[in-house]
A and B are shown apart, each in its own frame.
Chain A
């Protein structure tokens, strides 16, 4: 007598993580660029605001640590671009995907499990990079780009700050139930951070209470991590340490949430 054992059906090969990420990232960039409101907030808001504030203060205003205010703001607004991406664009985008069921659609696709959250993280970095380029172009044709005294330190501060705030954005988008709630909370977090963290009045122009609040604002540490090496104000050891802590905590947060959602 011959017995046969049923053979398990085999599935065709799935796309690799790298190939999947590349295709998905390109599609995501196209989709975000088709959303004019996103473009206005991430790209136009920091550029317009730096134009206005750079011209509000006189060149010898003593509140700017001896730096020309326009140069002080240009260096600071790299952080503002990062914050608009991390606190507003990404949370609304990701929460919108979850709310509409787009994330579920990806879960039953052949994309590797981690492709969507990783793509959204990379998308945030790409959008922040484009926002910084737009800001630099505007600065170049208006006040001029201030000379970068410590390029390595400045780049390290900008990259670390971007990673931290993009990570916060992915975390917020992963836990907030609707795009509206993400927008509400994002705005609530963004504007105080923006005004107290270096996008508004300089710390020297603030009263003691506001200055204390400013020192507790995460964006302050990101902006100082970029501004201090760029304008040779100081060595931002503490600011870099705080930003690294933010990155570690937020990354751990969204990885835990992503793993929970996938099981």
Chain B
């Protein structure tokens, strides 16, 4: 694939996310990527780099352009403009790219009557992980002879993870991997993704689940309407927004009135015995310390609501509209 590049003009969308690995070469480098479908601009000049060995999240709502961007990176779609490299190779270099990249696509499947063991054998290239080892590693040994169509959603995703990792890729793309899974299966898949990263494989995780991105990603880029509107570690993105923490507990002590003088507290509200304290995230420690310092028993129903990634992303996206 030949794409033109003019990364400098798109520097406004970088958000400081063009970073390199220690040897100077990112696992994935995207500069000025643009993709349109007729009049619709799906990806509008985005730039980012994924470091080797990290879980990099691409976060955003439906239609934000994240899947289009990642499919351009994998050579499944032709970009209108931009530079894309995977471990230094141009993404049109399919011969090298297919050996370096493992993929789980958002909209892909296997033949319903294909058995799990057959699928692994079929897609194995020279040097691939041995089928029994791979099946064992991903808890699929007992399902070796099961047809793909007979598996539960969670097991099907396990098969896709196994296939994505079968040929020992250097970077693996997971696109909406946990869509439609029950909470237990989702946690299972999260553990699997972390295990992949811990084995040294770079992971690019496309998701619209904020909790998933916050729990798993070392760094992430937030897409909105084809652009990157925020980037960094989850903590950096949360800290970038003036979001509010809340503490709620039951107490009938008059001395609690002094809480509004503590650092970071913006308001103390009392409704009968129920006290609600709001303020900056840093006020939590001061309030808790004050409650204990009172010498009274600590309230047993104390609940702290800290600002999370979802609050921050909602605020960021709201500011861009």
Contact = CB atoms under 8 A, between A and B. Distances in A.
B95 A109 contact: no
A102 B87 contact: no
B1 A102 contact: no
B96 interface: yes
A8 B99 contact: no
A259 interface: no
Interface string A228-249: 0000000000000000000000
Interface string B3-45: 0000000000000000000011100000000000000000000
Interface string B107-125: 1111101100010011101
Interface stretch (A9-17, A80-88, A199-207): A9-17
Contact of B87 (A9, A34, A35): A9
A263 interface: yes
A24 interface: yes
Contact of A105 (B94, B98, B105): B105
Interface string A114-148: 00000000000000000000000000000000000
B126 A102 contact: no
A110 B108 contact: no
Contacts of B89: 8-9
A14 B113 contact: no
Nearest to B112: A100
A4 B23 CA distance: 9
Contacts of B99: 10-14, 110
B125 A110 contact: yes
Residue with the highest number of chain B CB atoms closer than 10 Å, among A6, A10, A11, A101:
A11
Nearest to A23: B122
Interface string B76-113: 10100000000111000011111111010101111101
A13 B125 contact: yes
A180 interface: no
Contacts of A100: 109
A107 B167 CA distance: 15
Tell me if B's interface is mostly helix, strand, loop or mixed. loop
A214 B243 CA distance: 76
Nearest to A35: B113
* Interface size class of chain A, counting residues whose CB lies under 8 Å from the partner chain: 20 to 34
Given A12-B127, A110-B123, A102 B109 contact: yes
A263 B74 contact: no
A105 B112 CA distance: 13
A24 B122 CA distance: 7
Contacts of A97: 111
B197 interface: no
A181 interface: no
B126 A109 contact: no
B123 A27 contact: no
B164 to A, nearest CB: 9
B107 A9 contact: no
Contact of B110 (A10, A11, A102, A263): A102
B108 A27 contact: no
A248 to B, nearest CB: 28
Interface string A74-118: 000000000000000000000001001110110111110100000
A101 B125 contact: no
A31 interface: yes
Given A6-B25, A12-B126, A109 B98 contact: yes
Contacts of A11: 95-100
A100 B109 CA distance: 6
B29 to A, nearest CB: 11
Given A8-B89, A12-B167, A34-B113, A104 B76 contact: yes
Given A6-B25, A110-B99, A104 B108 contact: yes
B144 interface: no
Given A6-B23, A263-B1, A102 B111 contact: yes
Contacts of A24: 122
Nearest to A262: B94
Contacts of B225: none
B170 interface: yes
A34 B25 CA distance: 48
Contact of A12 (B78, B108, B111, B125): B125
Given A13-B127, A109-B163, 16 more contacts: A4-B23, A9-B89, A12-B125, A12-B126, A15-B126, A23-B122, A100-B109, A101-B107, A102-B108, A104-B107, A107-B76, A108-B108, A109-B98, A110-B98, A110-B99, A110-B123
Interface of B: 1, 23-25, 74, 76, 78, 87-89, 94-101, 103, 105, 107-111, 113-114, 118, 121-123, 125-127, 163, 167-168, 170
The 10 closest A-B pairs by CB, nearest first: A11-B99, A101-B108, A9-B87, A108-B103, A110-B125, A8-B88, A6-B25, A12-B127, A105-B108, A100-B109
28 contacts: A6-B24, A9-B88, A10-B96, A11-B98, A11-B99, A11-B100, A12-B125, A12-B127, A12-B167, A13-B125, A13-B126, A14-B98, A14-B126, A15-B125, A24-B122, A31-B113, A101-B105, A101-B109, A102-B108, A102-B110, A104-B107, A107-B76, A108-B76, A108-B105, A109-B123, A110-B99, A110-B123, A111-B123
Interface of A: 4, 6, 8-15, 23-24, 27, 30-31, 34-35, 97, 100-102, 104-105, 107-111, 113, 263
